[in-house]
Amino acid sequence: MGYADRSYSYRPDGSSGGSGGRGGFGGLSGSVSPWVLRLLVANGAIFLLMLVGLLPRRWAIEALGFSPGGVLTRPWSLITYMFVHGGFWHVGVNMLVLFFFGPPLERAWGGRDFLKYYLVAGLGAALFSYLFLPLPDVSMQTTVVGASGAIFGLMLAFALMWPDAQIYIWGIFPMRAKWFVGLLAVFTLFSSFRGGGSQVADWAHLGGLVTGFAYLRWGRPVSGALDRVFDALGGLASGTGDLALRAARRMREGTVVAADLTPEMMREGRRRPGAGGVRWTRADALDLPFADGSFDRVLIGYGLRNFSDLSRSLAEIHRCLRPGGRLLSLDFGKPEAGWLRAAYLRYLEASTTAAGWVLHRDPEAYLYIPESLRRYPAQEEICALMNGAGFRPCAWVDLMFGTMAIHVAHRAERRSGD
């Protein structure tokens, strides 16, 4: 297994990571990232100790493996089970996948976020094994071992971040990451429900996929973008200030301004912890009350598609940014595949109708979300509008097969003599 070594990382300066050649071993630059290396060494060391008898196999599986019936007496097994494997092929395949898919993710997210995601996916795999194994199997005799759940989570994350990356099955047959992981997910789902045989591994694999998706969807959708925010920052269409408050916690100096047209939303935001570190301003995106060049960064979360005149609003944002400043916008996206786009819109309609009924007894309360997405341009068109407003360059990163996207646009540096 390998992948084509192209642009699988994005840097704030608009350049891409990767060496540009066709590769297949150990990350984009040929080196293994720090936490991937530690995980490889830890798993390999435990397997070797078991192989030579210094760590008795039966004791290791019973003491370190996850047993649903014994989780209360051995809670550490929720973590340690990921480092114990049943045989050479078990550990070999898992570590091979970690070796290929881990380094690009760690470089894109940073070591801390990478390790957190790895462990969360592994915990989800254990939880699924506990909840969904047939009742006769949920006993002290059923023991789950291996990093497969966490590994499946890594493959999912890779496919969501770089869906068009070429993966070479057995080093020969090319397949795009999104199709490879999609087929793997379908097979895993079928295997989990088919009945018969041992379903322990199937439920663990499915748990890693589902938990990984949920964590990426709700846990860290803007992750690395906020880590680089500094100096004066504006949050436009900030609502209750989710992005502004998070940015304020990370900034060591400078000013964070949260701007929104709706006073009620900002009133809620002012009640939240840390709101005192943010300057709250009522503002209309069509006519921003800020001087030219006021901000180093402007962050928008799920707000761009609600602007009544997108071109005019982007021009206003461009005006308020200093030369060299950046606009970062996280919003819903439109998948390229027509069938996926149609299915996604139907899903949004159904889910927002259900949420409106449950939360407000009004099924139409959130229908503005899919309606606004229908009118909202696709990712490439958004970049064209940003270019038309004066931003150079502009790029975007698709998340979750293009159902969401982060756009990054730069206001050009002022040339000498201008």
The structure's pTM equals: 0.50
The token pair that represents 392 in the structure block: 């150079």
Q: Which residue has the tokens 């009544």?
A: 308
Q: Over the stretch 164-189, which tens digit does the pLDDT of each residue have?
A: 887 776 656 778 888 888 888 888 77
Identity at 236, one-letter amino acid code = L
**397/276 Cα distance (integer angstroms):** 32
Would you say the C-alpha torsion 32, 225, 206, 186 has a positive or negative sign? negative
Q: Please state the rounded mean pLDDT for residues 84-93.
A: 89
Q: Please state the rounded mean pLDDT for residues 384-392.
A: 92
Which among 345, 321, 335 is positioned nearest to 408, based on CA atoms?
321
**43/122 Cα distance (integer angstroms):** 14
Identity at 88, one-letter amino acid code = F
Q: Please state the rounded mean pLDDT for residues 358-363.
A: 80
Task: Categorize the per-residue pLDDT at 382 as very low, low, confident or very high, splitting at 50, 70 and 90.
Answer: very high
Which 8-state DSSP code applies to residue 298? E
Strands 233-236 and 256-260: parallel
Task: Say if residue 203's pLDDT is above 70.
Answer: yes
Q: Over the stretch 273-287, which tens digit does the pLDDT of each residue have?
A: 887 888 888 888 888
Say what the pLDDT of residue 132 is: 62
Say what the pLDDT of residue 14 is: 34
Q: Which residue has the tokens 């925010």?
A: 229
Which domains are seen in the chain, by residue range? 2-219 (1.20.1540.10), 225-334+376-411 (3.40.50.150)
Convert 378-401 into a string of H (helix), E (strand) and C (coil).
Answer: CHHHHHHHHHHCCEEEEEEEEECC
Torsion of CA 384, 389, 392, 398, to 10 degrees: -40
Task: Say if residue 257's pLDDT is above 80.
Answer: yes
